[in-house]
Structure 1
């Protein structure tokens, strides 16, 4: 696993994009602070750049480095979540402008998956985590269902979990600084 993590990090540091198994579905990822890499993902997915993408972090300490004012309820939600949960926070910091939504928010998920945790911990920056499909098409349930266009469009494919079913999108909850909680996806 160490060699694959090193290769993925080297690609992301060069502004490349990776295809990798996450704690939810197969994802396309890059350095969340690298605007050109983020643009590559938007182009590959044929996704409107007005639609934000999710990023992953490895723990609460890292989350605090990229969200200045985390509502207290976020810790409770994540502590009691029974499935991977992405929270959309207001006013992200230290990430590329083109990953931030028009309302100045960003979805971040603290991952539990061993590979993702090690990847993000070693990289020391949030990693983009968007589903490995063309925008508007069905999210692939496994590696074999990922279109060849996506596979050919990335700079590195992580060779793990290619025979596993990864088909549970995260729950998405939007939290605002004024205490509002909105469930976007259960």
Structure 2
């Protein structure tokens, strides 16, 4: 696993794209602080950059470096969730501008997958995580379902088969600083 992490970090540091197993589905990833890399993700997915992408962090400390003011309830949601949960926060900071939604929000998930946590910890920055499909097409439930356009479009494909998971996208909850909680995807 260390070799795979080192290869990924080299690609990420050079503004490249990786295809990697996450705590949900196989994801396309890049350095979340690199605007040019984020643009490549939108282009590969053939997706408008007005549709925001998810960002993975390794722990609460990295979350706090990425979001201006993390609402207290977020920690309860993260700790009590029984499945991967992405939270949309107000006022992100330190990430690529084209990763931030028009309403100044950012979707962030604290990774629960061991490979992802190790990778993000060693990279020391958030990583983009978006499903490995062309926009509008179904999310692949396994590596074998990933479109060849995606496989050819990334700079590195992680050579690890993840532990068998449910392979479903994360729950998405929007937490506004005014206390509003809204479930976007269950």
TM-score, structure 2 normalization: 0.98
Structure 1 pair 44–105 and aligned structure 2 pair: CA distance change class (3 A): same
Deviation at residue 79 of structure 1 after TM alignment: 1.1
Q: Secondary structure in 1 aligned to 2:61?
A: helix
Deviation at residue 166 of structure 1 after TM alignment: 5.5
Deviation at residue 164 of structure 1 after TM alignment: 4.4
Deviation at residue 2 of structure 1 after TM alignment: 0.5
- Unaligned runs of 5+ residues in structure 1 are none
Corresponding residue for residue 4 of structure 1: 4
- Unaligned runs of 5+ residues in structure 2 are none
| Inter-partner Cα distance in structure 1 for 2:161 and 2:135 | 23
Corresponding residue for residue 78 of structure 2: 78
TM-score, structure 1 normalization: 0.98
Corresponding residue for residue 19 of structure 2: 19
Q: Secondary structure in 1 aligned to 2:19?
A: strand
**1:52 matches 2:80:** no
The question of whether the paired residues in 1 share the 8 Å contact of 2:56 and 2:111 is answered with yes
Corresponding residue for residue 124 of structure 1: 124
The question of whether the paired residues in 2 share the 8 Å contact of 1:142 and 1:162 is answered with no
| Inter-partner Cα distance in structure 2 for 1:165 and 1:10 | 27
What is the CA deviation profile of residues 32-63 of structure 1, one whole-angstrom value per residue up to 9, with x for unaligned ones?
00011111010000001100000000110110
Corresponding residue for residue 184 of structure 2: 184
The question of whether the paired residues in 1 share the 8 Å contact of 2:24 and 2:165 is answered with no
Structure 1 pair 166–109 and aligned structure 2 pair: CA distance change class (3 A): same
The question of whether the paired residues in 2 share the 8 Å contact of 1:11 and 1:155 is answered with yes
| Inter-partner Cα distance in structure 1 for 2:41 and 2:166 | 20
**1:104 matches 2:104:** yes
Structure 1 pair 123–166 and aligned structure 2 pair: CA distance change class (3 A): farther
Q: Secondary structure in 1 aligned to 2:152?
A: helix
| Inter-partner Cα distance in structure 1 for 2:6 and 2:167 | 26
Deviation at residue 161 of structure 1 after TM alignment: 1.2
What is the CA deviation profile of residues 108-134 of structure 1, one whole-angstrom value per residue up to 9, with x for unaligned ones?
000111000000000010000000000
